[in-house]
């Protein structure tokens, strides 16, 4: 019997995402000056106020205030009527030295034996239902808001848009777990005051979402996904009505409160640890990226149609205490006798292929580079691997890779290991 699955996303102007972007921008500045920096930066934003707090161990000297203001300005909070303004909001800095008790659990005599920065379990997931190996409902939710942000910043259409927004997409799946159609699209966007009455305002926003936003998103998609946009879609556009008050004035924002938006939209699993503001010694972040890298390469190599990978650690211990893989019964790889490999057999092969000690993950994925600000809105997973130029403290320019955990650089090795 067909079933429904729903995922949501939030825009860069959502208060929790404002906090995430500030935390990661500060992390990046520490890493730009000191790649070995240990950073745990938390951010709180509310009406005309931003607070950063946390623990730092670094040789770098970072002035957080101009970074905070630049992030807020780039997002688009630059008008007094927003009651959260890059130029006038109060900024408070409560960053301090990292506990030596934590540091001694991480640092070892040899870098290769660096211990995990904390205990816990991290998950990575991938599915072949989209080109970027992400769940379709989340991928569409992110696309809607990325395009809404682009429209806002272009300033030619929907000129009433403000930075805060949310989206939600519900997909109807067939019995064989393939998407049949989009059931429901929800878009709630902050907007300027309208001269017209509320009913007229809402009709205008709904019409613009249907005739401007959604066609621009559809144009980015392959023909099969475009076909899921049928005339029977239920649209809920600003369903509560007027949405002028938003952003950190409407709701306070905190780092790490959108962990499902950041990962897989509720598909697969989540270990509970947030990402933003944490350097790569925190396996909450680095091991989650490594698990995504593994899962994506396994699916791309044809091992299974969908894969969930769990990695677990003890604080101060380099080797993971466990590696778990499930393919939800979609395994295609077989043994020498022709029988399909069990999930346990796949996990053993994963451990042979991928060194999951924290140091090895950091080196493999280049996680001591200042590459995290880009990940702090519209999802850490499913993004396009690329490069960016970083101005170094000595004045030189360094090219660094971004979203390295999305690279399909292990597909050939996996095919060789699995005989595919």
Q: Residues marked as binding for ATP?
A: 14, 164-166, 242-243, 251, 257-258, 274, 278
Q: How far apart are the first and last CA of the chain?
A: 33
Q: Name the phi and psi angles at 337, rounded to 5.
A: -90, 0
Q: How far is CA 138 from CA 8, 132, 381, in A?
A: 6, 11, 10
Which residues participate in the annotated binding site for K(+)? 42
Question: How many CA atoms does the CB half-sphere of 91 hold within 13 Å?
Answer: 18
Q: Give the residue from 72, 47, 78, 18 showing the smallest Cα distance to 245.
A: 47
Residue 259, SS3 per DSSP: helix
Q: Are 158 and 8 in contact (CB under 8 A)?
A: no
Round to whole Å and give the CA distance between 85 and 389.
Answer: 28
Which residues participate in the annotated binding site for L-methionine? 55, 98, 251, 282
What DSSP designation does 211 have?
I
Q: Name the phi and psi angles at 143, rounded to 5.
A: -60, -40
Q: How far is CA 191 from CA 198, 236, 326, 372, in A?
A: 12, 16, 44, 29
Q: Name the phi and psi angles at 52, rounded to 5.
A: -115, 140
What DSSP designation does 332 have?
-
All residues at 6 or more sequence positions from 125 whose CB lies less than 8 Å from its CB, including other chains: 135, 263, 264, 267, 268, 269, 292, 295, 306, 307, 308, 309, 381
Which residues participate in the annotated binding site for Mg(2+)? 16
All residues at 6 or more sequence positions from 152 whose CB lies less than 8 Å from its CB, including other chains: 76, 158, 161, 162, 163
Which residues participate in the annotated binding site? 14, 16, 42, 55, 98, 164-166, 242-243, 251, 257-258, 274, 278, 282
Q: Are 314 and 147 in contact (CB under 8 A)?
A: no
Bridge partners for 188 per DSSP: 166
Q: Which region, left, alpha or beta, applies to residue 328 given φ > 0 means left and ψ of -120 to 50 means alpha? A: left
Bridge partners for 52 per DSSP: 43, 93
Round to whole Å and give the CA distance between 23 and 20.
Answer: 5
Round to whole Å and give the CA distance between 285 and 115.
Answer: 14
């Amino acid at each position: 019997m067909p079933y429904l699955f729903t995922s949501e996303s939030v825009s860069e102007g959502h208060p929790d995402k404002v906090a995430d972007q500030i935390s990661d921008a500060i992390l990046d500045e520490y890493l730009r000056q000191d790649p070995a920096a240990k950073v745990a930066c938390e951010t709180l934003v509310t009406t005309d106020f931003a607070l950063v707090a946390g623990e730092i161990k670094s040789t770098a000297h970072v002035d957080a205030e101009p970074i905070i203001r630049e992030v807020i300005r780039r997002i688009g909070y630059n008008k007094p009527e927003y009651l959260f303004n890059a130029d006038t909001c109060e900024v408070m800095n409560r960053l301090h030295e990292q506990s030596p008790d934590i540091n001694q659990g991480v640092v070892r005599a040899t870098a290769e034996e660096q211990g995990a920065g904390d205990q816990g379990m991290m998950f990575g997931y991938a599915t072949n239902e989209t080109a970027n190996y992400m769940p379709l409902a989340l991928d569409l939710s992110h696309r809607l808001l990325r395009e809404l942000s682009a429209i806002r910043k272009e300033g030619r259409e929907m000129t009433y848009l403000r930075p805060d927004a949310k989206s939600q997409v519900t997909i109807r799946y067939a019995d064989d777990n393939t998407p049949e159609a989009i059931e429901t699209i929800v878009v709630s966007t902050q907007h300027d005051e309208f001269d017209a009455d509320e009913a007229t305002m809402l009709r205008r926003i709904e019409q613009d979402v249907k005739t401007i936003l959604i066609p621009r998103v559809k144009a980015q998609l392959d023909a099969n996904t475009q076909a899921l946009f049928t005339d029977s879609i239920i649209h809920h556009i600003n369903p509560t009505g007027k949405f002028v008050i938003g952003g950190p004035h409407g709701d306070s924002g905190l780092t790490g409160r959108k962990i499902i938006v950041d990962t897989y939209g509720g598909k697969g699993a989540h270990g509970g640890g947030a990402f933003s503001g944490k350097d790569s010694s925190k396996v909450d972040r680095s091991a989650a990226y490594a698990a995504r890298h593994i899962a994506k390469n396994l699916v791309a190599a044809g091992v299974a149609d969908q894969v969930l990978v769990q990695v677990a650690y003890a604080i101060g211990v380099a080797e993971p205490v466990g590696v778990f893989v499930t393919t939800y019964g979609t395994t295609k790889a077989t043994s020498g006798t022709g029988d399909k490999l069990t999930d346990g057999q796949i996990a053993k092969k994963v451990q042979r292929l991928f060194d999951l000690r924290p140091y090895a993950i950091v080196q493999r994925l280049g996680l001591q580079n200042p590459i995290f600000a880009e990940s702090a809105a519209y999802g850490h997973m499913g993004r396009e691997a690329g490069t960016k130029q970083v101005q170094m403290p000595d004045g030189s320019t360094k090219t660094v890779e971004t979203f390295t955990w999305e690279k399909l650089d292990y597909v050939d090795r996996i095919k060789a290991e699995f005989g595919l």
